[in-house]
Amino acid sequence: MRTWTTEALAGEGPVALRGALEVEATARGVLPHRLPAAARAQVSDGFCALAEAQPSGVRLAFRTEATVVELDVVPFPGAPAGDADASALADPEGADPAAGAFGPAGPCAGVYDLVVDGRLTARLAAPIGGADGVVAVRFDGLSGREQDVEIWLPHAAIVELVALRADAPLRPPRAAGAPPPRWVHHGSSISQGAGAAGPTGAWPAVAARLAGADLVNLGLSGNALLDPFTARAIRDTPADLISVKVGINIVALDAFRLRTLGPALHGFLDTVREGHPTAPLLVVSPLHAPVVERVPGPMYPDPDAPGPGVSFRGFGDPAEVASGALTLTTIRRELGRVVAQRAETDRNLHYLDGLALYGERDFAELPLPDQLHPDDATQRRIGERFARLAFGPGGPFATASTGAGATSGRGVAPRRG
């Protein structure tokens, strides 16, 4: 008979919580955060607060000989619906979302991915309910041999972590050789994982797993806006590799004009460089989105769009581009200009054209379902291309990604709030 082991996640223990910048102690457990308290105190927008508390890229890591693992969570009211049904998939990497393998979307306590020895082995959309609001996310069928396990938390739902149980002892994850490089990435909802079927399907997670990087995903839905508090969070976070992907939210909110975009980007990069003066820093421009390539924002759902579902388009006046209104085309040009200027004295600053990740030909093959967000297959394509272009031979992250993962900067480890 196997003996069950329970680990409370509110204190120190063998289970590592990776990808969070801070954890907030609650009455029953912990709430992971992707922005520290100092940054959250400066967030006046409720949607930004929602996005940072959705733990995209955050995962629990441990080593065990268990055959069953259960995670007790409390989903927050109003958590978004999931993209999978309430059953674990035997082989999610081989599943075909277009064929309905993930089942109908519906209210859930978030989608969880189980990674065993580096392989995605199950995906579970946990139902809402349970005694006192606690839901048990249960993964069974593990081998029972010694194995490294990761549970990736939902990329689009807020959950409080209460306890982790297994039918075998839980031990710290194995450390083999030099630690992997820590990659801190900031971007929009596309980076957070909008359209992905599960948390490991968000393109930064795809790229990190292919490259063997330790991901901190600061993709904030609707909030890649060069906010100073985000720049300070990156500055103060230990990092070996840093990327900043901006553009679509700037157009969507009509947040800048040409006159103000350049100085805002300079200021953001200046702040990041205060904490990471020499780390490889990659600025990534927007993906292809036809409705705002040459039409400025703001961007809203299109009331005249045919068919079911939401479809976005730009509502700005193209004539205003001449006076500084921003489109994706003009943003790419300005980002490239700023990076080229700074790179004259900063040899570790790089630029990646977002069209190399998803361009016009990709749109013809894999169109954006709502004219804004990619689907699951497109998220994977973007992640695979980023892994090749950034981490591959000749890429800006190539040398550092094979190094010792020394972690630059003056930041501290994830702390409790």
Tens digits of per-residue pLDDT, 134-152?
A: 999 999 999 999 999 999 9
Query: Average pLDDT in the 96-118 region?
Result: 61
Question: What is the enclosing helix (H) or strand (E) of 189?
Answer: helix 189-192
Residue with tokens 């978004």: 80
Reported as a pLDDT band with limits 50, 70 and 90, residue 308 is: confident
Reported as a pLDDT band with limits 50, 70 and 90, residue 410 is: very low
For residue 340, the tally of other CB atoms under 10 A from its CB is: 11
pLDDT at residue 382 tops 50: yes
- Position 106 scores a pLDDT of 52
| CB proximity list for 212: less than 8 A, separation 6 or greater | 180, 401
- Position 400 scores a pLDDT of 62
Query: Average pLDDT in the 298-323 region?
Result: 93
pLDDT at residue 403 tops 90: no
In whole angstroms, what is the distance from residue 166 CA to residue 139 CA?
10
Tokens of 274: 């205060």
Cis peptide bond upstream of 204, omega within 30: no
| CB proximity list for 353: less than 8 A, separation 6 or greater | 285, 332, 336
* Low-confidence winner among 34-48, 120-134, 277-291, 341-355 (lowest mean pLDDT): 120-134
| CB proximity list for 16: less than 8 A, separation 6 or greater | 60, 61, 62, 172, 173
pLDDT at residue 17 tops 70: yes
Measured CA to CA in angstroms, residue 326 lies from 91, 271, 314, 317, 348 at distances of: 43, 24, 11, 10, 27
Note if the pTM is more than 0.75.
Answer: yes
* Residue 303 burial (C-beta neighbours within 10 Å; 0-12, 13-18, 19+): exposed
pLDDT at residue 75 tops 90: no
pLDDT at residue 3 tops 80: no
State the average pLDDT for the chain: 88
